[in-house]
Amino acid sequence: MNRIFSGMQPTRQLHLGNYLGALRNWVELQNSYECIFCVVDLHALTIDQDAEVLRNNIREVTAAYIAAGIDPEKNILFNQSFVPAHSELAWILSCHTPLGWLNRMTQFKEKAGKQKDMANLGLYSYPVLMAADILLYKATHVPVGEDQKQHLELARDIAGAFNRRYDTEFFPLPEPQILGEATRVMSLRDGTKKMSKSDESEYSRINMTDDADTIATKVRKAKTDPEPLPDNLADLEKRPEADNLVTIYAALSGQTREQTVQQFAGAQFSGFKAALVDLSVAKLAPMTTRMKELLDDKAEIDRLLRRGGERAAAIAETNLNGVKDIIGLLRP
């Protein structure tokens, strides 16, 4: 069976975009692949973290995975820092990665901005750690959003360079998977900006911890335009806020965007939003309730992470030892 590896950072709260763009698809993938799902807490250290907040966020992301439908017994679910081999392989791979490859990474340029000289090394070398995360488990497929596709391509380049350098086929070249109608959910306040954990406005996103009343309020307050909904996708795509809400409805209902457009063609936004409120609450509120139940028992979440970490470490140690043997490192 092919192997999936994917993960999310425990930075701030997960939101509707994380669910529709990733989590919902992971739930489906676990039926067809051997899956390893990680809370990538080492990646979160590229920005300043409060220790207690980080611990809580790691548990909250874990709870979100499970509430969305990830089975921690069927799959491996753990936090990245539990397995030291991630960091060790990242160092080895960094010694096989030309600076020119990292200099092409657009996400570092966007996040560092004009303060590039003050950015930390972790932010710059983040893609190498991501490559190590994937290659450590010899993952064959990685579900990614468009913003991470370049980093996955780098992981493929690093794997290929390692294989050529040592005349081996040790690492598979992982394939990207970009799935579903809503791979990119936009802000509820600005249809031209991606829904983000870091947006100052709480009304820009639906958090996975929002209760039914909060979900309903945020949908009703979502930015729209005065025109009725169009009857074709070409016109819809010229209206970013309308396009975003239709995309969300389509994803939550399991329809295509075209089917949703046909269903609501000519409707006023008041009627469409009422339908979207009902659908959003029906789909998301049960997950919110389940997350709260899980977070009430932190010891159980920690136990699940520890058990998943032990399972992950067994695979990681075998593969890291294989790398060490190939490159000539002695080990006990």
| Residue ranges of the chain whose pLDDT lies below 70 | 1, 180-183
Position 38 scores a pLDDT of: 97
197 assigned to active site: yes
d(CA 158, CA 98): 9
d(CA 33, CA 26): 10
Provide the 3-class DSSP secondary structure of residue 199: coil
Catalytic residue among 74, 109, 111, 238: 111
Q: What is the Cβ-side half-sphere exposure of residue 301, based on CA atoms within 13 angstroms? A: 24
Q: Spell out the domain ranges in the chain.
A: 1-181+297-325, 210-291
Position 182 scores a pLDDT of: 55
Q: Is 196 annotated as a binding residue?
A: yes
pLDDT tens readout for residues 171-197: 999 999 877 655 679 999 999 998 988
Q: Is 145 annotated as a binding residue?
A: yes
- Closest to 99 measured CA to CA, from 125, 73, 135, 129: 125
Cβ-based neighbours of 186, under 8 Å, separated by 6 or more: 17, 192, 193, 194, 195, 240, 244, 247
111 assigned to active site: yes
pTM here is: 0.90
Q: Is 10 annotated as a binding residue?
A: yes
- Closest to 127 measured CA to CA, from 164, 110, 102, 106: 102
First to last CA, the chain: 32
Over the range 246-277, which residues count as b (16 or more CB within 10 Å of their CB) and which as e?
bbbbbbbbebebeebbebbeeeebeebbebbb
d(CA 247, CA 255): 9
Cβ-based neighbours of 44, under 8 Å, separated by 6 or more: 9, 10, 11, 54, 57
Position 180 scores a pLDDT of: 60
Mean pLDDT, the chain, whole residue set = 93
Position 101 scores a pLDDT of: 95
Catalytic residue among 197, 223, 298, 324: 197
Q: Is 100 annotated as a binding residue?
A: no
Q: 196 is written with which tokens?
A: 């983000």
Position 149 scores a pLDDT of: 85
Provide the 3-class DSSP secondary structure of residue 172: coil
CB 145 within 8 A of CB 179: no
Q: Is 87 annotated as a binding residue?
A: no
194 assigned to active site: yes
Class of domain 1-181+297-325: alpha beta
CB 255 within 8 A of CB 316: no
d(CA 224, CA 204): 13
* Domain 210-291 coded CATH 1.10.240.10: yes
Q: Is 280 annotated as a binding residue?
A: no
d(CA 241, CA 221): 12
* CA distance to 135, 139, 206, per residue, from 150 (Å): 16, 17, 27
Length of the chain: 332
Catalytic residue among 116, 149, 194, 273: 194
Cβ-based neighbours of 238, under 8 Å, separated by 6 or more: none
Position 113 scores a pLDDT of: 76
d(CA 281, CA 213): 8
- Closest to 123 measured CA to CA, from 44, 9, 61, 53: 44
